[in-house]
Structure 1
Amino acid sequence: MTTVIPAGQRERNAELVRGLYEELYRAHRFDAAGRFFHADCTEHDPLAASAAGPADRWQAMTREFPGLRADIDHLVADNDRVMLFATWTGRTRSGEPFRLHTAELYRTRDGKVAEHWNVVDRDVLDAHGLAGGPDGEGQPAAPGLHGPHSDTERANAELVLGAYRDVFSDHELDLADRYYHQDYRHHNMRTETVPDGLDAFKAFFADNIAAFPDLVTTVDHIVAADDRVMVFVTWTGTLTGAWSGGGPSQLPLQMRTCDQFRIENGKVAEHWEVVDYLALRRAGLPTP
């Protein structure tokens, strides 16, 4: 059965979010916030929820980092949801360069943003003396696809969910071949040292599972459009084993990531990620 996707909805929501970034986060037209956010918009970012709205939080950040601006790196629009990666660049008050990677999820209603979640590399903020907040703070999940999707999009989503279930939570590394191409490409938004390919993938996660024998993943949000799937994921475990970078610390891990997958011929061909490295550091491991 072919599912009919509402014509133009995804495109309109993508344009709404791109306009938001252009007006507020690049041109600094803070008085335009009402064009993009509902007055009763629900804000799940603990760093922004204490402000009087997204424009106030943004203005505070520009005072801390003059010239701050955001560029959208990847964007997936899925019915009433838009998920993206953003790179924020500017300068510190002392003139040093500032660079931050985040992932953002917007739920739209009637042409404006009604709800917002994100994943922030709080390790960068912490290095600049800004409070990173508690791990796993205040962002409730909205799991599962929302709205109509094509059969291919649903199959792609099930592929990604299966990988998190079988490989990352059940630790069945031998099943990774079922989900990933042998020569798949891996992109970390913070470091270029992450190797490509399934063999490197298995070695990396064998190391992680040895360090965190109780490692479990929970997919909190998922969107799918065309050949792309993006997810927000919470990783939990305890550093009770040895890892190539350190351990065991006996400390808990509660880390959030956002991952984008490009699916080709029924398997992952390419993967991008934003990681909250502060959670990893608090568990006792070094960060890139």
Structure 2
Amino acid sequence: MTPKELVMEAVAAIFVNFDATAAEQLLAKDYIQHNPAVPTGAAPILGFIPGLKESGIEVDIHRVIAEGDMVVLHTTYNNAQAFGAETLVGFDVFRVEDGKVAEHWDNLTPVTPPNPSGHTQTDGPTEITDLDKTAESKALVTDFVNTILNNGEVDRITDFLSTETYIQHNSNIADGLDGLGAALAGMAERGIQMIYSDVHIVVAEGNFVFTASEGTFADKPTAFYDLFRVENGKIVEHWDVIADIPAEMAHDNGKF
């Protein structure tokens, strides 16, 4: 199986079929967990499966992108009280090694209303295209995160974002560069700073590029998970899930 196929089978075993036996064959025993609330190792995941089945949890996978041994899912979890809310939107990131799912990172957030332009946290294109431009798209987005989000060189934003089409899925931000500018100005007026400091993960496939970054939001340690769609050499669409990084976790692996 490809890494993408392996991850999809593992997710189906855990969240669709609730089949601990199948899941055990797909997870590495020393599975490394980065979800702050879940202990590391395969055993805790397998132990959760009966409770997940009883809860009636459902997973809706919107997008799947993969590069090398890394696979990213853009998901909605319904009946997700076991994770802290009735419905959660998230990004799940998996690393595959030696034919097993070996490591997992995620960010989850409650569902929020559509943004001022009417876009939800998960709608929009899902088809992966331009596979021959994967490296080019990855370089563009990585440069954008480092130049604009890390270094704050906002005067260069049109080097990366399309001036004609920029679709936003963050509930607080309207489409277009004007919408982004207004949201950033509003945050500045309220004294809220959003600071990206380190990019830990970049996964690209065709026109989609995912990044997982560390920083602060309103002075709190924060994990920023961002998904970008690239078209004609510019970023034209953006989804994100932002989550606090707690001081205490159920393991010693850290958030990243």
What TM-score range do you get, normalising by the shorter chain? 0.7 to 0.9
Q: Which runs of 5+ in 2 are unaligned?
A: 112-130, 246-256
**Deviation of the 1:221 alpha carbon:** 0.6
Are 1:85 and 2:74 counterparts? yes
Q: 1:153 aligns with which of 109, 134, 138?
A: 134
2:62 corresponding residue in structure 1 = 73
| Shift in alpha-carbon separation, 1:220–1:196, aligned structure 2, 3 A | same
Q: Residues 207 and 161 from structure 1, CA distance in 2 versus in 1: closer, same or farther, beyond 3 angstroms?
A: farther
Aligned-partner residue type, residue 239 of structure 2: W
Structure 2: distance between partners of 1:216 and 1:110 = 33
Deviation at 1:213, TM superposition (A): 5.2
Q: TM-score, normalised by structure 1?
A: 0.68
Partner of 2:14: 24
Measure how far apart 1:209 and its partner are: 4.7
RMSD: 2.8
Whole-angstrom distance in 2 between the partners of 1:171 and 1:206: 14
Q: Which of the residues 37, 41, 46 maps onto 1:47?
A: 37
**Contact 2:69/2:95 (8 A) holds in 1:** yes
Q: Does the 8 Å contact 2:33/2:40 carry over to 1?
A: no
Mapping 1:21-170, distance limit 5 Å: 21-49=11-39, 52-62=43-53, 66-90=55-79, 98-121=86-109, 152-170=133-151
Does the 8 Å contact 1:101/1:120 carry over to 2?
Answer: yes
Q: Residue by residue, what CA displacement relative to the aligned partner does 1:212-267 show, whole Å, maximum 9, x if unpaired? A: 45833321111111111101122225x4xxxxxxxxxxxx2211121111111111
Contact 1:153-1:225 at 8 Å conserved across structures: yes
8 Å contact from structure 1 (residues 209, 215) kept in 2: no
What SS does structure 2 have at the residue aligned with 1:180? coil
Q: Which has the higher contact order (CA 8 A, sep 6+)?
A: 2
Greater CA radius of gyration, 1 or 2?
A: 1
Distance across 2 between alignment mates of 1:16 and 1:108: 8
Paired residue type of 1:157: K
Identity of aligned residues (%): 26
Q: Does the Cα contact within 8 Å between 2:6 and 2:100 map onto a contact in 1?
A: yes
Name the amino acid aligned to 1:13.
P
Corresponding residue to 1:215 among 178, 187, 195: 195
SS at match of 1:206: helix
1:265 aligns with 2:254: no
Compared CA separation, residues 92 and 214, structure 1 to 2 (3 A): closer
**1:143 matched residue in structure 2:** none
- What TM-score does the superposition give when structure 2 sets the normalisation length? 0.76
SS in 2 for 1:181: coil
Q: What is the correspondence of 1:219-238 to structure 2 with a 5 Å cutoff?
A: 219-236=199-216
- Corresponding residue for 1:198? 177
1:144-186 deviation digits (Å, cap 9, x = unpaired): xxxxxx8832322221122222222332222111111122111
